[in-house]
Amino acid sequence: MSSHRIGLLALQGDYEAHGKALVRAGFPRCDMVEIRSFSDLQFLTAIIIPGGESTVMSMLLERFGMFEELKRQIENGMPVLATCAGLILLAKNIEGNDQMGLGVLDIKVKRNAYGRQVDSFHAPVQTIIDSVGIIEGIFIRAPRILASGKEVEHLAIYENEPVMVRQGSIIAATFHPELLPDAPVHRWFIQTFV
């Protein structure tokens, strides 16, 4: 067993898909922990925040007393991979919404920017990561990144817009890389940050 421990925020959303992606990327399931309480946040090497419903995640983090501790750990450099609603939860600014977010990622986002569930789509996404390259972006009620701060690096582009970004050890995507069979984003995240 390794000394690395990846947390899967398991309050809401498809965290199980991320667990399966980590296994496909070569990370042992025994080194994953589902985060449902404050005590689960202890001794993590990294955390994954899944897609789902960002307002519900925010509310549950607050209700279970985890909001400030999670924010503190991310601000102190704990690596995080967030997708879709997870990206919204991390954003400093959410257009047209006053939901409480962690505010640790210097981006402005718009929720459900591509439309409703029936408007979900797949499209090629160009990354700047050599080991990842061009991948299939799976956009499900996806947010759109409207603006980003100077410390935010654009890692992937779709139609000339950023769809995956990095700020320090924070990686966030508007799409769902956990659904890709070969899990290239998760593999890169493990190799780079864990």
Catalytic residue among 75, 136, 178, 186: 178
Distance CA 54, CA 170 (A): 17
Q: Where are the beta strands (DSSP E) in the chain?
A: 6-9, 32-35, 46-49, 80-83, 91-94, 105-110, 121-127, 134-139, 144-148, 153-158, 161-167, 170-173
Active site residue 30: no
Beta partners for residue 173, in sequence order: 83, 164
Distance CA 49, CA 13 (A): 9
Assigned token pair, 22: 């980590």
Catalytic residue among 16, 68, 84, 186: 84
Catalytic residue among 68, 136, 153, 176: 176
Distance CA 190, CA 102 (A): 23
Active site residue 176: yes
**Whether 156 contacts 126, CB under 8 Å:** yes
Residues with active-site annotation: 84, 176, 178
